[in-house]
Structure 1
Amino acid sequence: MTPLPLAVSLGDPAGIGPEIIVEAWSRRKDGGTPPFFVVGGRGVLEQAAAKRGLAIEVASISQATDAIALWPEALPVLGEKDCAYTPGQPDADGARLALFSLTEGTRLAAQGEAGGLVTAPIAKGELAKVGFTQPGQTEFLADAVGCARDDAVMMLAGPSLRAVPLTVHCALADVPALLTEEMIVRRARIVAAALRRDFGIENPRIAICGLNPHAGEQGRFGSEESTIIEPAIAQLQAEGLPVTGPHPADALFTPRARKTYDAALAMYHDQALIPIKALDFDEGVNVTLGLPIVRTSPDHGTAFDIAGKALADPGAMMAALRMAGDMAARRAAHG
């Protein structure tokens, strides 16, 4: 268990974040969930619990360390900021609460008052209306902790697969121009280091996807494999990393292939996210590698259409909490 409680940001209060948070606390014994506290939104959480039919206590704390003692009996909430609970109907007040919760949770993790940060889903469009300028939470966190955005690497992890999209929030048409040998090498190193430090994999095996159908088929369907991806793989192999590829993406995620690597590096967003969501949707975790803090998030969105209807599955939130707790414990143990 992590020696410090995890901070959990509320996400958009009109989404499913509040209800999967209260559900995760209510199942804390069954799920092996480490102690956590939520930043803001006590009233929202109380009403979300009522919507789920959960008779739980939600209690305020004055500092993060108070969460440990309170944890067995009540869901701890730090901070007085709150708003009306309007599931499925996002508004500016909710966006401001979501931004406060994310900002304060990040600060607490960065200052060592929390063992790590678990972020509930946000609505980027709503946040943009209240001053959020980053493409997503990953970029926000990198900026907040003084890390270069290129060094904050998104990995999607589940029981069946770990996948890293090398390009993320960009148009598919822009992907070829964004791929460089240097970028692939740099991010593969970050992934390998994180697998060792945060996941306890001493000699991580990394499989790298091709960009084009059949990994280019020796240049017949594109040249990026031979001009960018293969030189990057050669450099990584020369450094002693067990890296293979470029692999055709249509074969890399089969059950047999998944046994041969610990993480797959994909060239673009959907190349990584489609297989992880097909395999592990209810247990998929978005984890940010390369940061000085631990950060995870359930790998799904706000789901405004089912918010407040007691339909949202808390599995991914519980998995994100467990993963953050495990990562924080490893970091604490190894300094």
Structure 2
Amino acid sequence: MDSAFMTSLLESIDSRTKLVGENRLELLLFRLAGKQIYAINVFKVREVVQLPPLTEVPNRHYAICGVAHIRGLSFSVVDLQAALGRSPLYNGEVKTNLIITEYNSSVQGFLVGPVDRIVNLTWDSILPPPPTTGNGHFLTAITSFDDQLIQIIDVEKVLADITPYSTDISEDVLNENLKDWALNNQLKVLIVDDSSTARQQLKITLNNLGIECIQAKNGAEGLRTLESLAEDGPITKTLLMMITDAEMPEMDGYRLTHEARSNPALEDLFIIMHTSLSGAFNEALVDKVGCNRFLSKFKPDEVANAVQERVQDYKNSLESS
């Protein structure tokens, strides 16, 4: 891989932050064993290297090739083609590369084939997978570039299939009184996320807090849902809050938040940005567009604490009015 490509890949965080704020994204394009082009968001990529020697792991998941050791950091390497239910790339004939990523505050590597390029697109050109794809696929979205179909991988689903997630809330965190109050008052939360895995994680955790969930698959659908709910009266009387992802087809979470804050009928809605993107730049951008809270995916106790604080504040406001 030439130095010009690596320089482009590792360009400054500042420029990427501006892209997100403008409803834009950069995708890293790559292939597996065939001609199909896949992609992940550059925001989540730390670097791309040729596959180093790996340390074998006994009784490992079938999609785990082993453990890589790079510059003092050790992490598991996922054979992405095997994780998608196809023949493994590892030890195959295809020249392989390693995409090192950071999701949900942890580092992991993805073994892929040829790495192509980085493309700059708008989120409104990123579309949800067709409904006929079914529920078992590993895509969050599709798009096209140079007349080629690009499939964007749902990395959260891939990782959840390898390491099942926990939605359990610690006993010392769960407030049973607030849970009962939430149930009795039929509190509702809007979840906006393009990952079915992420929506399910949040739904189970919120249900365990006594809260009903409304779901939307992207920012555009989320905004339409908010506008529809606001037709019945003040949005704060209908929804306790909205929890939104950052990266989504058609409209990202930053633009969704901006649109909500610009609408008098929605401007008072409590909004949590819940994203696998991490870093100070993301928190600064969340503050800039007007979110109330920022949470990294997926930590059930942190979600529970944030939601219960909001429930308590909402309860106090009703009792004092």
TM range (shorter): under 0.3
Q: Which structure features the higher share of helix residues?
A: 1
Bigger relative CO (Cα 8 Å, ≥ 6 apart)? 1
Q: Which structure features the higher share of strand residues?
A: 2
